[in-house]
Amino acid sequence: MNGLPEAVEVARGALRLRWEDQSTTEWPATRLRAECRCGDCRSLRLAGRAPTGDGAELTGAEPVGRYALQLLFRDGHDRGIYPWDWLRNG
Please report, as ranges, the residues that interact with Zn ion according to CB under 5 A. Answer: 36, 38, 41, 80
Of 18 and 28, the one with the shorter C-beta distance to Zn ion is 28
Cα dihedral 15/20/22/25 (nearest 10):
-30
Where does residue 48 rank: exposed (0-12), middle (13-18), buried (19+ CB within 10 A)?
Answer: exposed
CB of 84 to Zn ion, least distance (A): 18
Shortest approach of Zn ion to residue 1 CB, angstroms?
Answer: 29
Least distance (Å) between residue 57 CB and Zn ion:
15
